[in-house]
A and B are shown apart, each in its own frame.
Chain A
Amino acid sequence: MDNRIALDPKNSIVVEACAGSGKTWLLVSRIVRLLLAGVAPGEILAITFTRKAAQEMQARLHDWLHLLASADDETVRNFLRERALADVDVQTFARARGLYRDFLLSSSSITISTFHGWFMQIIQRAPLNADVPVGLQLLERTSALREEAWDALADSLRAAPEGELAQQMQWLLNAIGLHNTRALLENFLSKRAEWWAYTLGREDAVAWALEELRSELQVDEDEDPLGALLEEDFDLTVQAFASLLQSGTEAQQKLAKSLDDARAQQELQARFDALFDVLHTGKGEPRKLKANKGQDAEHYANLFAGILEVLHHMQDALAERAALRLNQAGLRCGVAFLQHYQQLKLRQQLMDFTDVEWQVARLLKQSDSAEYMQYKLDSRYKHVLLDEFQDTNPLQWQILQAWFEASVAAEARPKIFVVGDPKQSIYRFRRADSRLFGEVSQFLQHEFDAHFLSQNETRRNAPAVLDAVNGVFASHPEGFVDFEIHIAHHKNLPGHVEVLPLAMHEASAAATAGEEKLRLRNPLIEARGEDESGARELEAAQFAAHIAAIVATWTVLDADGTQRRASWGDIMVLVRKRTHLRVYEAALRTHNIPFITSRRGGLLDTLEAEDIQALLAFLITPFADLQLAQTLRSPMFSCSDEDLVQLAQDAEEGSWWTRLQRCADTGSAALQRAHHLLQDWLQRADKLPVHDLLDHIYFSADVPQRYAAVVPEVMRATVHANLQAFMEIALDVDGGRYPSLPRFLAELRELRAAENESPDEGRVGEVGNALRIYTVHEAKGLEAPIVWLLDANDTRSVADSYGVLLDWPTNNPRPAHFSLYSTQSAHGKQRLPLFEAEQDYARREGMNLLYVAITRARQALIVSGNGKNAETEQQNKILSWYDRIAQLQIPCGNPLLQDNSEATPIKSHAAAEVNAALQRPFPTGKRSDNVTLEQRRGTWLHALLQHLTTFGVIADQVVLQAQCGIPLDEMGALWRQAQQLLAQPALQRFFDAQHYLSAANEMPYVNARGELKRIDRLVEFENEVWVLDYKTGATPDRAPYRAQMSEYRSAMQSIYAGKAVRCALVFADGTLSEI
């Protein structure tokens, strides 16, 4: 590929680049080139697929700019040369040097973001009257709200159980059951952007969509599809066929009889079913009925074919009708469900990703608002860079297109740079469409004069791994047509591919032992064998054992070329779906292998997180005995079973907590400790925010250390990280509005229930050296020295049985087809091409997945599978991933397997020596004692006096009250008190301006020691100066104030050298007491 073209800021570019070819390098290089060409950061928009990728890009960019600023001239020239800038002039060179600073300190900032992030930015710039909530919030987890919408739908149905909607619902429930109805409607909901696009501008969307569908399916509702059964011709044909059979073999005669019986059925549907069943096998295929010798073979065949044709025609017509019926009910209910969902969000000013996307698309398609949003955004993009373009969906592309068009209107058509790889398109379930890549590539070449480039050299994989890639894909299996042979950049990187034999389950001997004498297992003595342990369990055991061996005996090469021992962290395990992860995880646990699982909700399901949840639940429901028992047994308290028995045995009964309280003095040390701590926590649970409570719990019960003591060594890091992650959830929740412990627990329950929510979210918790398990989808953009493909011979795909059939040609503004389907009814003929296209596409995506999976491996690829489905696969003749790799010629020998005792072990960071004082509490700071009301009244009075004497007596009471922060019910009394005080004859000379030369309130001065002091009121007379100090207490005990007053006196004396300085206390009751 020619970087001179690709990186030239003047060009628009489309790059198709294979896995590991350095797309990030290319993209960031392009950004550097743009900056060098004088493009302002704010004029650049780069869109990537994940936040993680965006962050990486940012970091890379900073690193490079830093390098440009700091490295020696030669390095910089090299850097530029690699990016197709040979022989730069002095000016450009200087520019390159200065980019770092300009970029960091510029107030115009680059946008490197995901689509979602960018859309959020745009939508916040929507026109005010665009029906987009002001200050909208993004709803990231939708399941709770969908649940609520579902309930709302039920309520509305219940309110009108005979209404039209309810009838449609009743139909659905009857036809496909509650579970599938929900699945169908949820799928409709998740395709709502397509639905809106499909029905945009239609008044009655459902009616219109149904009318469209009716004509597509060619359903004529006035006509009975079974009408042909009544036609004489047909009946005669059947009759003729029956009589022909009658003349034949016994089997034929039997058929003839059945045919006659069928013909006799009165009801048409029954007659059709009977006829159909007679002539078809159980699987619905036509029976192979051959004519006998002696029967007119041709006549026989004609008759049979004639009947079949009519029947099949009817069958199709029925199927189309059933499909239409499903849509009638499904769309109607789906739209109702959708309405509830949208309403709920609107009420809370929320939008989810789909809404945002749709709204952005909607607004950008209106030229007025599109323009408005363009200029309202503070940056105007002159360069748009799109990463991982194959994962874009049609709506997103439309948004981009609309944006480009609007930019043209704003006279600034951007340059576009697109990188992608249709081979890695695996996000169909998120509505991505890899065909878009081709379309867009065409479009850009046409409209933007874009150059098309492709790159098949990879910097990631070892040649051995690449051989496997080329071996599997060179033949373009399953429509993988865009594959070209990949070339390795690192030709000498040692690599290894290994296909383990399929784990096969041998029928155990025990199964046949049924005949023997009945022998029942005694569970106290003998554990039940994990008898279902079949092939998968075997595979898992193999897997774990092999992993242990790898870490013991393999070496890997670091990016900088150092050879070191393989560690758990070098291994990435890939599965297609999470279904069976538990089995493999169990095997890893048995081998004490630390790992991070990708199982959703993993954190909250771990034992340690459950312990904490049980504890918190106990703290708000102290009668939750089981939760208490779990807490007691957990490492927090490590109570024994005997302890539990003691509690269970308590004669007085009552909740376990009351029992525990009773044995506060008699129980074991563990019980006593538990009682003591729980008592304390119950007190605090009331008022402390969740995080603070949790922190106190962790600390006071020494939680992390105690867990560490209990769990096996290899699990320690994970458990520790999980405990920490739990704390962070609490921290997060505490930042929210109106927190409470019950609400927190309710949210955790929601989180646990909501599987598959917000797939972009990062995993909670970080663990150092642990094996990682991902789905292939999650592994996108990642790599590892060693990759293991588990369960690779499973070909079953998890197609939705109830969903939306969609045809959205990539260049269309709206879908061409939108309908619901179910497996319950046959798919019919009319939609068949669409279903088939879907299937082809799914198979192709399966290949994409495999491509992504294999190309994650830098040095080693290991593949395993189990024999469970071998048979079915044989029948379906589907090649599994396992088969495809196993077929290859794989060279023997493993270059990674070598004596690794010499290799550098992974370094662990050395613990520094710590000052022992850091391990002890260091009491610091204190809470001032609660101010009594009396003291506060003093302060208020003080403030009042201050005001009254500064501004005179006419001040507005209400304003004054607010300014001094005096509660309403206090004001009256204080006001009177202040007035009284000021009116005291004895004090007149201090407050009435006629009597003195000058007076000051709150008079600050500083003494020689630098201490800042304030005098409540300083009054200056002809010959003397008075220092007044207001005192709130009623006791005229002057002793405590002497020192203070003498400090005042001496300070003032130094200032008013010629006057007498007199000091006095003024008490609330008006007493003046001179000191």
Chain B
Amino acid sequence: MHTAAAVFFDSVAAAILARHARELPDLRRVVVLLPNYHVAQPLAQHLARAAQLPAVLLPQLITLNDWAQSVALTQSVTPDSCRATILYQALRARNWFPDADLWGIAAELLSLLDELTRHHVPLPQSEEDFLAQLERAYQAKRNTAMQFEARVVHELWYAMNASGELDAARAMQQRLAQLALQAKAPLYVLLASDLARPERRFLQAYGERAEVTIFDLREMAVREPACAVVYAALGQLDRGNIKQGWGENVDDVHAPAMQLREQAAQLREHFPRSALGQRLRLFAAHGLEQEARAAEVQVRRWLLAGKSSIAIVAQDRLAARRVRALLERAQVQVRDETGWTLSTMAVTTVLMRWLDALQSDFYYQDLLDLLKSPYIFSDSEQGCRKQLVYQLEQLVRKRGVVAHLDTFVEMADAEDQALNAPLARLRQAADLLRKKSDTLAGWLAALHNSLEILGVLPGLAADAAGEQLLGALHTWQQELAADATRFSRGEWRHWLALQLDAETFRDLSIDSPVLITHLAATRWRSFDAVLLLGCDAAHLPSADKKAVWFNDAVRDTLGLPVAAVHRAQQRDDLLALFALNDSVLATWQASRAGEENLLSPYLEMLRGLHTQAYDDDLAETELAGMLDGAQVRTAPGTMPRAAAMPAPSVQASLVPQRISASGYNSLVACPYQYFARHVLHLNELDEVREGIEKRDYGEWVHGILHRFHEEFSLLKEHHRAELEAGLHRISAEVFAQAVARDYWARAWLLRWQQSIPAYIAAQLQGEAAGWRYQSGEVEFELPLEEGLQMKGRIDRIDVQAEAASVVKVLDYKMQDANKLRSKLKQAGEDVQLPFYAHVFEATEAAFVSIEKDQVLAVEPPQDVEQLSAANIARLKNIFALMRSAAPLPANGIDAVCGYCEMRGLCRKAEWK
């Protein structure tokens, strides 16, 4: 037992025993209300110690809630799920919020109604009186907005209460009332902060029949020297308008008017040495990672020092998650008492992705995401499922299928029958949910059945969170079985999402001395050490959720708890934590992403006073320096060497046997890129293209021009109008499919159509110069030398009308002529044209630049024959070098690297 806490438990035990000495060893008549069950153990211990008997039958150690639950009621309680639908209906019927999310409003309303019930707030009979009440509380003249608010709350409050059903809040009230009525047992209450109104009422009622004793930690701690600084700094509670019945005993160190300096002086006088300095340290971190690291290292230091109960109080959930992961590196498992909402867990992902896929008619990303969930098809072997998904994905990528289950099915039929079965299951499951409307229970049943078909159930059942999810679905279905309101799929889905948001999963299967918990759960608990994580101003006190209804002033007049209560609660919890624990490290991010970030005002106050009194700002100074050295690492293998430019050489047998123009271009631009593409044969995956891209456009134009020239080989024999009409017709045909699929294809068609007149003009000009279209889209393969073939496809070949042996090779480019010119400027850097020229023994070569209403032939500035000869000679030379194992350096220039998909392989950024 920790010394800090022992004092308090001792006095509680002593007080109880003193009152009941004659009943020993059987204290069963006595009831002790605990803030939580963790307190039972130490309390029992102290009772035993004080009693000094071989055994003591303990008092009833129970929380108020559990105690109340033990009271049986005659009427059954209407579950909240049902009340929400009733409220939803009421809202729908009134049509007050035409476009709004009624589930959200219903949820907000329900929580307000419950609060009103819980706090015994009577609403006046007449709406007018209620409005007047609001008016006074808001201190404002009434207006339509206020009237509306009053009306909504008033009307629905009475509507909901008219049914006479018993809701949970009311049930609790009845139970507490009964408990109070039957009060006999002497009652002891362990308290760390103010009671809420219902509890206070209960204790008062109880106290009229039996004895009630309250142990208020705040009063007890105030008298402890060890707590002096803490109470001096924070103890002066401005409880504001919340009245507190249990007399405050404030001694003069805590006088409100006292100023920091005087207070510090007095403290120093009374307590020359700071007790707090031993107990509390503050660590200012730069950013999340440092905070998490500091926390993690500190926890391990404590473990090493033999501490056997360590609490991480997670004010900041993200940081806590990070800390947990870091601890797991050191094989420190953590018990998490806080838990996660189901909606953030993978088990609900499979469910929602399934609904997403339905909604989007199996948009491929939703579909693949769904199928990659380990929970689907969990009735079959996992490797098998994965294999099928990958097969499907490859097919989808190859075929570019974007959506529609039917399309996937057709594709599978045609190409991969192994996929038929899983797709059939999807369809079967989808059919179950293809209805316009149903009751919530009906939807849930359909969902359950669809999950069954998809083999999701066994997967979920094998997982603790999954099991809870299934249980919850099941419970809702049962609760709502009688409800006949019908909802659309969208409404239901929204409802489901809200439900999943409200459900928390806690993994309690881990048993560990280290646990994560929240501040409120530390009441009256003591640990060997406590790490307060995320103590910045934004997280401590944490902001409570602002309710939609009313404001603080109104809530206060009505008798509902206000923000100040919430804050006071946290401050009390913090005080209690400092009182009960003698080893605390609080961490916060003093800066994040370069922005300053304030410390929690409570801690700042504490630090201010402590600095003033003891010249010690409580800063933790050791940790920062040890973070780097205190990392747990996996057994480090040999460390890699510093990066350098790669220049692999290739065995002769692996040197490619064929080369294309683009391959040669790549070889020239960067030999390493060529190596990756053509020796390693690495390619980017096909991507499903959802919109039309420029390369589609290029392909279509190529197709159009090929068809056009096949149809009209000599343009000058036709009328201009006929040519244009012809080209338009072909264009429309080629684009037809795309236009049907995607509206924006029209834009590309229009863009091309704008080039048509210029194209025809340019072509006629070419004809005038004697050039004749000979063939287009010609595939070729040509041996260049022993073991090397040239291959590829050329866009077009022209010959001279007079001399068919005079050849010109052409390549269409949807690019601006200037760009093409600069490509050709430096000889040998773009090899496409010389490459073709060699294959077709051409003496001329050109790019045809097609851009808007300009069509221009762009020719290399060098003599084509020479250029081509030089290029071929170089090609042979390079291949000879490659075969003799010459290294292939990664020497692309930046302009090339910017678009190079191999930059992750050559790793230029690391060595450049």
Contact = CB atoms under 8 A, between A and B. Distances in A.
Interface in B635-655: 636-637, 639-643, 646, 648, 650-651, 654
Given A127-B149, A375-B138, A919-B632, A524 B654 contact: no
Contact of B907 (A531, A586, A607, A709): A607
A226 interface: no
B689 to A, nearest CB: 13
Interface residues of B, number: 206
Contacts of B891: 523, 527-528
Given A178-B747, A178-B751, A918-B297, A742 B632 contact: no
Interface string A1047-1061: 000111011000000
A327 interface: no
Interface string A673-709: 1000000000000110101100110011110011001
Nearest to B289: A724
A58 B651 CA distance: 67
Contacts of A69: 259-261, 608, 612
B661 to A, nearest CB: 15
A1039 interface: no
A485 interface: no
B912 A590 contact: yes
Contact of A924 (B333, B352, B751): B333
A699 B634 contact: yes
A968 B608 CA distance: 58
A927 interface: yes
A94 interface: yes
Given A531-B826, A1010-B45, A710 B138 contact: no
Nearest to A673: B637
Contacts of B626: 911-914, 918
A55 B597 contact: yes
Interface in A622-637: 622-627, 629-630, 633-635
Given A523-B669, A1050-B54, A630 B149 contact: no
A633 B676 CA distance: 12
Nearest to A704: B631
Given A607-B903, A702-B634, A911 B594 contact: no
A403 to B, nearest CB: 15
Contacts of B912: 586, 589-590
Contacts of B352: 737-738
Interface string B269-303: 00000000000000000111100000001001101
A915 B639 contact: no
A140 B877 CA distance: 57
Given A69-B261, A523-B667, A918-B626, A410 B57 contact: no
Contacts of B671: 523-524
B685 A154 contact: no
B330 A154 contact: no
B362 to A, nearest CB: 15
Contacts of B288: 728, 731
B668 A710 contact: no
A1054 B632 CA distance: 52
Contacts of B675: 641
Given A629-B680, A740-B369, A921 B140 contact: no
A205 interface: no
Given A101-B260, A922-B303, A644 B680 contact: yes
B546 A376 contact: no
A914 B629 contact: yes
A101 B606 CA distance: 10
Given A104-B604, A1006-B47, A702 B866 contact: no
A131 interface: yes
Contact of A376 (B240, B512, B551, B633): B551
B365 A742 contact: yes
B251 interface: no
A734 interface: yes
B622 A912 contact: yes
Interface string B856-868: 0000011000110
B55 A1051 contact: yes
B564 A107 contact: yes
Contacts, number: 507
Given A520-B827, A524-B887, A528-B893, A1010 B104 contact: no
Given A607-B910, A739-B349, A1055 B594 contact: no
A1003 to B, nearest CB: 7
B893 A70 contact: no
A70 B304 contact: no
A762 interface: yes
Contacts of B25: 1054-1055
Nearest to B512: A925
Interface stretch (B92-100, B219-227, B717-725): B92-100
A157 B743 CA distance: 7
Contacts of A699: 329, 632-634
B55 A625 contact: no
Contacts of A885: none
Interface string B345-383: 010110011000000000001001100111000000000
B322 A731 contact: yes
Most interface-central of A51, A101, A955, A1050 (chain B CB within 10 A) = A101
Given A178-B744, A1010-B44, A735 B344 contact: yes
B76 A522 contact: no
Interface in B483-512: 497, 501, 509-512
A763 interface: yes
Given A378-B551, A520-B871, A909-B625, A918 B630 contact: yes
B234 interface: yes
Contact of B344 (A94, A129, A734): A734
B49 interface: yes
B326 A735 contact: no
Which one of B236, B751, B888, B907 has the greatest number of beta carbons of chain A within 10 Å?
B907
A1050 B625 CA distance: 55
Interface stretch (A264-272, A310-318, A366-374, A830-838): A366-374
A915 B743 contact: no
Given A410-B140, A918-B301, A925-B511, A181 B321 contact: no
Interface string B317-336: 11001100110111111110
Contacts of B861: 514
Interface in A883-939: 909-915, 917-928
A107 B893 contact: no
Contact of A1010 (B49, B744, B903): B49
B259 A94 contact: yes
Contact of A738 (B343, B471, B629, B901): B343
13 contacts: A106-B238, A130-B145, A170-B750, A514-B862, A520-B870, A522-B877, A606-B909, A623-B393, A728-B289, A739-B349, A921-B331, A1008-B54, A1054-B54
* Shortest Cβ-Cβ A-B pairs, 6 listed: A925-B512, A912-B625, A520-B828, A630-B904, A178-B747, A638-B640
Given A641-B675, A645-B651, A927-B510, 20 more contacts: A128-B149, A173-B746, A178-B748, A523-B667, A530-B894, A607-B909, A620-B372, A638-B640, A645-B654, A695-B326, A699-B632, A705-B633, A710-B640, A909-B625, A918-B629, A922-B331, A927-B333, A928-B511, A1006-B58, A1052-B55
